Structure 1
Amino acid sequence: MSEMPLFERLEEQEPGDGERVFRVSEINRAVRLTLEDSWPSVLIEGELSDVRRAKGHVYFTLNDEEEPAQLRGVMFQSDVRRTKTPLDDGARVRFRGKLSMYLARGQFQLIARSAKPAGEGDLAAQFRRLRDKLDAEGLLDPERKRSLPQLPRVVGVVTSRTGAALRDIIRVASERCPVRLVVADCRVQGDDAPRTIVSALELVQRVEDLDVVIVSRGGGSAEDLWAFNDEGVARAIADCRVPVVSGVGHEVDVTIADLVADVRAATPSNAAEIVVPERGALVRDLRSLERRLSQALDNLVGGLRLRLERLLRPLYGARRAVSPIRKQLLVLQEQLGHAERANIRRRQGDLAELRLRLGRHDPRSTLRQDRLALGALAARLRDAGRLPIQRRRERLVALTVALQGRGRPLVREARASHSEASARLDALSPLRVLERGYAIALHEETGRAIRSADEVKRGDRVRVRVSDGEFGAEVKGKT
């Protein structure tokens, strides 16, 4: 290790008006050269924070665990590929490297060549203990995560009123879709920050129509973000009555608040993008839903139409098959009507003839004739005074007996003929035809029987006679 003083490397100048004035770059190069010569290889240990990656390089801050001291460091891409040690915030790492200076900013730094784990750092240990505790209680369970409202109207924002995070959220929300933002101010860094974050969460939940809450702050070191690794903050987020979106730091930063929240956002801007839907996307979704609904309705109607056609197809065939049968039935009905009417007329003639015959054999007529004859005989008897009265009486008795003997068979014969004629007449009666299920349609006005469909038209009133009575009807149509 060289013991040569730093500025002996620079060209010495005598004091006075001609004293040399150095440029900043010259001083920085001289300091870097001195550091690299004096500390070409050093083994250093500390706790990592503010770890970030860019183009394969890893930039970090190495913290002293006993005193408030920090050292900036970098491990370049070629060395990062060789190391197997995770370089994350909170990890305790032992680096092998050299001390140097970043000329552009005059920043003293460690250029790390290799890394090995040096045990768990205090911050990382606290993080893991709290994470495991909350996980055991189920607060990190994905099943308890709540879905965000698709179209929120009121969004609570828990952050600092003066921070860049709030400006980013307002900008993104105004660009996407109009929503009402309710800001609950709190500190987002420092020892008192956890208490103010919890109070702000409780305050914003008093808004009755609140839909969702964003808990957010901008980027920073692990120490800057540590308020969001507080147990009280984690439980307040878990107990919130509406879904919570955590947007703390940058994408590489992971806090307990991120793990407990219903949704984790990479940045405050990303949190606003997740919560507030884009107006154009809503319109596109609405149009897409409209198209899908229209297509679904078309498919449904088309399917129902095809199904209806399949169901009606047999009916069309049956209708074609029934049509000639219906015509034949109409012909048969017409023929039956003609036959019935002819039969009725024939039976009516037979009935009239039977009535005449019955009239001729009526016992009452025979008795009247016999009485007339008896009267004539009685008159002759009175006139014939020469005959003995006894003979006349005997003859009268004999005639009376003969008359009675002759009258009884005639009465029986007449009654038998009457019964036979009544039975034949009843069998031929139109009422018997009606009892077999037929009906007679009569004109309402004329009372005449309707023998053809041409005799009526739509709207005509008719009377229909059946076996046990009559009822009125109206012609609705003809087939």
Structure 2
Amino acid sequence: MTTSSYLTVKALTKYIKRKFDADPHLREVYVKGELSNVKIHSSGHIYFTLKETDARINAAMFRTQASKLKFKPEEGMQVFIRGEVSVYESSGNYQLYAHTMEPDGVGGLFVAFNQLKEQLQKEGLFNPKFKQTIPKFPKTVGVLTAVTGAAIRDICTTISRRYPLAEIVIYPTIVQGNNAAPNIVENIRLANKQQLCDVLIVGRGGGSIEDLWAFNEEVVARAIFESRIPIISAVGHETDTTIADFAADLRAPTPTAAAELAVPNQHELMQQLLRSRSLLHQMTSQRLQYERQRLNKVQGAYPLATPERLYRPFTEKVIQLDMQLGRASQVYLMKKSNELQKLVTAIKLHSPQYAIQSNHKQIEQMTRMLSRSIISLIDKKKDLYLSNIRTLEALNPLSIMTRGYSVAYKGEQVVNSIAKITKDDEIMIHFHDGKAQAKILNTLEQKGGE
């Protein structure tokens, strides 16, 4: 055999490669095996060995196909691969070129979901300490969703019904497909830049895991975590869970539930205000009753031992003052009640966020003023009452009698002149500690300076 009849290594390799490439059975093969020696190159290509118990084959997946994977190939993972078998000319080895790859037993999306969830959880994106508080009385609610779906109608209807004072800013957003994730991120950042909203609702209606996949993208999760505006996620139905739900400040099972969590219920607010007004009335009435009881005790602490006809005018005056106190308290309470009613009416017509804070302070101020006014009024009446008591004590004949004086009565008349009695008249002499009956033996009329 001549030298010219020998093949070169390159020619032989090319011949073998053409044989492989011409075989229709090797152009599209479906292979199951375990991943080994997985290397993800910086270029995006993936190189690995597919093996089983007693056989193995080198394999590669180029960047174009690898970029479509929803999960990260890992050592020891059982996979299904669709591809072709060919010869790599530089080494003369045949290898498997993978076009698609799916995990064995579970879908690739499910694996990708768990891998990303575990990664972000380790980074702290789901840590409760980073969750922002949803404002109780938002002035403006931002909604990031598709403008043609049922989700936007449910959200807007619920907010308008529960809390009509809140404005709604809609950010039309693509929520499905390859462009969905970048568009969601763009609108979250736009809302944060504009700073128009107090809270954002990000979501869409239900669908398959593929339909909802944009909310499982890492870029979306990071945009939600970085948002300075609190975000409520509302993706799919109650049983659907996405990465966005874990990253959000609050998760809602449905878009309608997200709207309910974003704003308060105006009817519940009104009930709270009415209960507060009723409580204020009750506290004021109880205080008045308490102060009236104190006044009654003060009255009982100073018993009057003087004849009834002497202290009756003062007693009547005290009763009159007590009635005036009651009427003044009722008028004052009615005035403050009317003012409170006006405040409640104003709250109905204006923003509850501002009105509730402002009126709460006014109610506290009114309560303090009312308490001080009642105490001041009672103190004044008490001082007047004590002054009357002291006057009454000064006029009390018994006080004078303790110093040796007495009062004489002839029948029902006070004997204040010698001219009112004659010899043999019977009189009654009142001392400070009792009475004595006496008979006039004689009268001596004082004349001149005698």
| TM-score (norm: length of structure 1) | 0.40
Question: Whose radius of gyration is greater, 1 or 2?
Answer: 1
